[in-house]
Structure 1
Amino acid sequence: MSKRPGNRSQAIETIERTRDFIPYPQVVETTHRGERSWDIFSRLLKDRIVFLGTEVNDDVANIIIAQLLFL
């Protein structure tokens, strides 16, 4: 079991390190302007869908609030 990060910067660092090892699905969108590749979470947000795939802690709650404000 991994140790829980102690502060926000450690949490972000952990997420970024994990992101390097986990392949995120890509979606290719073709429009009249050409093709564009999106990571699946950005594409969902474009369609106004906020995906929650983990338990909610303070850091996750902040990310969700930021996404909702963006919408």
Structure 2
Amino acid sequence: MPIGVPKVPYRIPGDEEATWVDLYNVMYRERTFLGQEIRCEITNHITGLMVYLSIEDGISDIFLFLNSPGGWLISGMAIFDTMQTVTPDIYTICLGIAASMASFILLGGERVHP
């Protein structure tokens, strides 16, 4: 019997009460996950998410969690360029493996969170 996506309380800044939102939506508010080979489709998803988070809140830091065997050069460069372009600092954290192009992306992020 499938349980589904867990819901967690999330308080939108400015609201007094928290609303129940699925876990993935809450995590995407501050974090981005790269957990597969770097190809065009995932690159479009990640770069779009970073630009959206930058436009929505240009002050809060973005965390990019990596577990990737690497992938296409051009797709990886697009992610790297987006990381350097957006206003918030992007902190990269490796959870598992960051090989090939994923290691380049890992090194493109901020190193230490204050």
**TM-score for both structures, normalised by structure 2:** 0.34
Moved over 4 A (4+): none
1:27–1:43 Cα contact (<8 Å) kept: no
The letter for the 2-side match of 1:33 is E
Ranges in structure 1 where 5+ consecutive residues have no aligned partner: 1-21
Q: CA RMSD in A?
A: 2.5
Is contact 1:50–1:64 with CA below 8 Å preserved after alignment?
yes
Instruction: Report whether the alignment pairs 1:26 with 2:6.
Output: yes
Among all aligned residue pairs of Structure 1 and Structure 2, give the percentage whose two residues are the same amino acid.
17
Question: Where in structure 2 are the equivalents of 1:12-51 lying within 5 Å?
Answer: 25-29=5-9, 31=11, 32-38=16-22, 40-46=23-29, 48-51=30-33
Give 5+ residue unaligned stretches, structure 2: 54-114
- Post-superposition Cα deviations, 1:5-62, rounded to whole Å, max 9, x if no partner, equal xxxxxxxxxxxxxxxxx97632311654243122x3321121x210112111101000
Corresponding residue for 2:44?
62
Task: Indicate the structure with greater helix content.
Answer: 1
Structure number having the greater strand percentage: 2
Q: Tell me: higher relative CO, structure 1 or 2? Use CA pairs within 8 A at least 6 residues apart.
A: 2
Q: How many positions carry a matched residue from both structures? A: 48
TM-score by length of 1: 0.50
